[in-house]
Chains A and B, each alone.
Chain A
């Protein structure tokens, strides 16, 4: 049976979601995306460059909407109002596409989410028919509120955006997962493949990352590593790990039939 990630009723075979920022060029972006196996890719919405050369390469050519599910984000928004306006523009830009990533930031140093503004924006967006995947803190109470509002995925940080610090509070991620029924996707903080695997082993439904891939020395190779990390972590979660046993040694090889000692 396929073990797919279901978001807002749509099925995805990859549990790795990736960003499209910070790459050297669009060729590298596309190569990394392909190596990651990701189906859902985040994009930002920005003012068009007024002096733009019409023939400048553009993201939509390198990362066609026919092949990838776009997840427009509200990166850089610090108020609910800005986030809502950005996603309305995104929906218009992407022909009515309603699956979005909401993030409302608290301050530019930490990029920590402002959950008050996030909740306010989520209410408006859900009422307007958006399918909201929401970046938030790893606070289980806030996560539940966001689910109750109607968000289709809860995306807690594992550590700060772009920090690569890994899964700093697995206990809170567990609390979030215990409380919400929609998919929980770790968004932010993953630094390397083992971080992604740990998130998946905890039972998270997916992992979203950008800098961990784009900021690696070899982004395409890291994208491939992340794909495997997510898959390995997921399989380990489904397999059910052995319990940790302190001071309870249990050899893996038979204890009988050992050749006799020559001493004494």
Chain B
């Protein structure tokens, strides 16, 4: 079990996962999202190679209406 924080919410993951697998699990595959891991941008092209680790802090964002 590893524990990560996604958008401020703690989540338990059953095992180590790639970012791409997490995005898939969240139903976000194919959606336009951007992801920051521990303060650093994770380029979308590297999602399949990035292995999540215990304690990771992720921010996953989208574009919304705003002024």
Chain A residues in the interface with B (C-beta under 8 A): 18-23, 26, 29, 42-48, 50, 52, 54, 58-60, 70, 72-73, 75, 85-86, 88-90, 92-94, 161, 209-211, 214
Task: Return the contact of A75 from the options B9, B59, B60, B66 (Cβ within 8 A).
Answer: B66
Among candidates B36, B44, B59, B63, residue contacting A70 with C-beta atoms closer than 8 Å = B63
Residue from the list B7, B32, B41 in contact with A88, Cβ < 8 A: B41
- Could you tell me the distance between the alpha carbons of A59 and B34 in the complex, rounded to whole angstroms? 15
B6 at the interface (CB under 8 A from A): yes
Chain A residue numbers with a CB within 8 Å of B63 are: 43-45, 59-60, 70, 72, 90, 93-94
Across the interface, do B26 and A50 meet the contact criterion of CB distance under 8 Å?
yes
* Proximity string of chain B (14-36) to chain A, C-beta cutoff 8 Å, 1 when within and 0 when not: 00000000000011100111111
Indicate if the CB atoms of B26 and A89 lie closer than 8 Å. Answer: no
Per the bound structure, the CA–CA distance linking A240 and B38 in Å amounts to: 55
The reply to whether A93 and B62 form a contact with Cβ atoms under 8 Å apart is yes
Size of the B side of the interface (Cβ < 8 Å), in residues, is 26
Bound Cα distance A23, B63 (Å): 15
When the two chains form their complex, are residues B67 and A75 in contact, meaning their CB atoms are under 8 A apart?
yes
Contact A43 B66 (CB under 8 A): yes
Q: Mark B30-54, 1 if CB is under 8 A from A, else 0.
A: 0111111001010110000000000
CA distance A48 to B33 in the complex (A): 8
Give Cα distance in the complex from A52 to B31, angstroms.
12
**Separation of A22 and B63 alpha carbons in the complex (Å):** 14
**Can you identify 24 A-B contacts, CB atoms within 8 angstroms?**
A21-B64, A22-B67, A42-B66, A43-B63, A43-B64, A43-B65, A45-B34, A45-B62, A46-B62, A47-B8, A48-B62, A54-B31, A59-B64, A60-B63, A70-B63, A75-B66, A85-B39, A88-B36, A92-B41, A93-B33, A93-B34, A161-B67, A210-B66, A211-B67
| Cβ-closest chain B residue relative to A93 | B34
The residue among B26, B35, B64, B67 with the most chain A CB atoms within 10 A of its own CB is B67
